[in-house]
Every structure is written in C-alpha cells, then in structure tokens.
Amino acid sequence: MAEAVHYIHLQNFSRSLLETLNGQRLGGHFCDVTVRIREATLRAHRCVLAAGSPFFHDKLLLGHSAIEVPPVVPSGAVRQLVEFMYSGCLVVAQSEALQILTAASVLQIKTVIDECTQIISQSRGPARPPRHEPPEHDGADGMPSGHSRKQRQPLRLQLPLKEEEEEEEEDAGDGGDGGFAAPPFASEEPPG
C-alpha cells in the first residue's frame, strides 16, 4: 500500500520571498554585492541582480563582488531598476522615461526597454492607447478629478521568464501571485 503524499501550494510564496529579500536589502542584511554608480553605492543580493539583469549576471559570473555601472547611466535610474528587480513594479514619469531607458539598455532589461520606448514614442508621435492602462480612481486619493495619473501610475512589468517558467505560468494561470511563477514544489496531488 502506497503512502499518502501531500503537496503544499503557497499562492503568494514567490512574491513574499521577494518582499523578504527586499526588506533584507533595505536593512543591509545578507547583501553580498555592491553596485557603484559614479560616487554612489548600493548594496543588493547577487542572486536577485543576476536574475533581473543580463548585465549584472555576466559581471557576477566573472566573480565580481563590486560592480561598476558606466558613468553615462543616471544613478537614480539604476536605483529604480534595482527596486524593480525586487518588487516587479516600476514608476515611470514621462520626464524620466529617457533616463530609465538609458539605464535599462545598459543593464539589458528588455521589458523595461520596451515599455520606456513606447512611453517615449507616445509622447512624440500620434496618440496611441497605452499598453498598461492605470486603474480607474474615484478621486478619493486626493487627486483632482480629471487629473491624468498616467505619469504617476506604476508600470507593472514582469521580469523576463525562461520558456519553461512561462509554460508553467500559463498552466497555473494568475494565482494571485502578482505575475511571478509558482514555486517549483507547487503541483497537483498525484493520483492515489
């Protein structure tokens, strides 16, 4: 007689894990890499940077514990992109889209490059509907009625996933985990 096996599926585990890592980063705990942007520095976790940016991935593969970002890259934009890697959320004001595009290009973050390119082209060309519409608000947030929230609304971009992770995500649907793939141990209970 086969022993019963139970599977535990935590819907928001990956989101919670990133939030915990971000809290550790903000508290300076367990950070194992320093990013230098001109005279500014920030500490982070190499696994998060390597997963979120091919630029960081390649530098970390070479064994760097301190990574120098080219001086042409705006330091504020790099900080925003590191925050994005930990949260999956990026706020892009129209006025800073070019700076974030520059940083995303150097860090090779394709999803951000694509979105910032669209933001910039919308501001210069004929009006097209944005790819990410902000949710409707009832004015209770203190914004004057009729005020456009497009520049302040966070762009919810997802870090690039590998093909097998994309397939798993499609199979699982949106389980309320904010667009992150389900943990690898999440599966159905096998037939008994």
Query: Mind listing the pLDDT tens digit for each residue in 7-26?
Result: 999 999 999 999 999 999 99
CB 54 within 8 A of CB 108: yes
The answer to whether residue 76 is domain-embedded is: yes
Which tens digits make up the pLDDT trace of 57-91? 999 999 998 999 999 999 999 999 999 999 999 99
> Up-side HSE of residue 138: CA atoms within 13 Å toward CB?
1
Other residues' Cβ atoms within 10 Å of the Cβ of residue 2: 6
> What is the C-alpha separation between 167 and 179, in angstroms, rounded?
13
* Domain around 97: 16-127+148-160
pLDDT (tens digit per residue) in 110-142: 999 999 999 999 887 655 455 554 444 444 433
**Res. 157 pLDDT band, cuts 50 70 90:** low
Q: Helices 54-61 & 97-107, crossing angle to 10 degrees?
A: 40
Residue 7 domain-assigned (yes or no): no
CATH number at residue 67: 3.30.710.10
DSSP string, 83-125: HHHHHSEEE--GGGHHHHHHHHHHHT-HHHHHHHHHHHHHHHS
Is residue 2 a part of any domain in this protein?
no
Asked if residue 175 belongs to a domain, the reply is no
158 — pLDDT class (breaks 50, 70, 90): low
pTM of structure = 0.65
In a domain, 191, yes or no: no
CA distance 175 to 83: 23
Count of domains observed in the chain: 1
